[in-house]
Amino acid sequence: MRQRAFVLTTDSRHNLPIYPNLARTMTPAAINQLWVADITYIRLRTEFIYLAVVLDAFSRRVIGWALGRTLEAELAVVALRCTVRLYGDAAGASRSTAGQSDYEIIRQFFRTEPDFRVTYHYKSSNPLVRDRVNAVNSMLHNNERERRLLVNPCCKQLIRDLERVSWKADSNENLLPQFDKTDPGLTHVSDALGYLIDSEFALRQMGGPKSSVLF
C-alpha cells in the first residue's frame, strides 16, 4: 500500500522569536474582535501549493486568503493584506485636496494595488461624539463588566489617547459635548477607533450592542 505524501507546514524547531498567544483567553462576542489565521497545503497532480487564510473567529467569515508555492512569510502577509476595511470621518467624502476628496485619493491609490480588496465604511454624517465615546467605552468595559476590546500594548498612542482624552469644559467648568483638543497630539487615534466601533458595534437606541452580523 502506497503511503500518501505528507507536507509539514509547522516547524517549531527554530531560534526565531515566539510571540505570546494573546487570544488564548478571548471569547469573541461579535465580529471583528478576533481574527485567526492558519496555513495548509493543497495537493495538485504534480505538486503541492499552500493556502493561507485569515478568519473572523466569531462569524467564521474569511477575511483574506492567498495561494503560493512556498511557505515564506510573504504568503501570510498577502492573506492579511488582501482585505482592507476603511473606516473614517464622513467629512472625508467632501473635504478636498487638489480638487479631490480624501476618499477619492485613497481609492486612486488602491487602484494601483491589485492585491488589496478594499471596502469603505463611513456614514453620510458623523455620529455624535458622545455616541462614539459610549460605544468605545461599552467595548472596553460595559455595565456587566465585560471587556470586548483588546488593545495591543504596542499601540502606545492609542493607549495614551484612551488614558488622557477628556471632555472640554467652559469657563464655569461645565463639561461640553466635545473633546478637549488643547493637546494637538491627542484625539486623532481614539477618534479613528470611535468611527470603527460606531460602524460595527454602535449602541442601539435602548442600549446594548447591535446583535446582527453585518457582513
22-44 pLDDT, tens per residue? 888 888 887 878 888 888 888 88
For residue 3, how far is the Cα from the chain centroid?
43
The whole-number pLDDT of residue 210 equals: 46
- Beta bridge pairs of residue 39: 52
What distance in Å separates the CA atoms of residue 11 and residue 8, rounded to the nearest whole number? 7
Number of domains in the chain: 2
Identity of residue 159 = I
Shared-domain flag, residues 153 and 93: no
- Beta bridge pairs of residue 36: 55
Question: What are the start-end ranges of the E strands in 105-206?
Answer: 117-121, 167-169, 175-179
DSSP 146: -
Shared-domain flag, residues 139 and 81: no
Shared-domain flag, residues 149 and 173: yes
210 within a domain of the structure (yes/no): no
2 within a domain of the structure (yes/no): no
Shared-domain flag, residues 138 and 66: no
Shared-domain flag, residues 110 and 134: no
The whole-number pLDDT of residue 152 equals: 83
> Given a cut of 60, is residue 51 above it in pLDDT?
yes
Q: Mean pLDDT over all residues of the chain?
A: 80
214 within a domain of the structure (yes/no): no
Shared-domain flag, residues 42 and 110: yes
Shared-domain flag, residues 110 and 143: no
Q: pTM of whole model > 0.75? A: no
6 within a domain of the structure (yes/no): no
148 within a domain of the structure (yes/no): yes
Provide the H-helix boundaries in 112-155: 129-140
Burial tier of 198 (Cβ tally within 10 Å: 0-12, 13-18, 19+): buried
26 within a domain of the structure (yes/no): no
Q: How many Cβ atoms from other residues are within 10 Å of residue 132's Cβ?
A: 22
170 within a domain of the structure (yes/no): yes
22 within a domain of the structure (yes/no): no
Shared-domain flag, residues 117 and 145: no
Shared-domain flag, residues 39 and 117: yes
Which domain does 159 fall in, by range? 129-201
Residue 106, C-alpha cell as written in the block: 485613497
Shared-domain flag, residues 134 and 58: no
Q: What is the mean pLDDT of the segment spanning 186-190?
A: 87
Identity of residue 4 = R
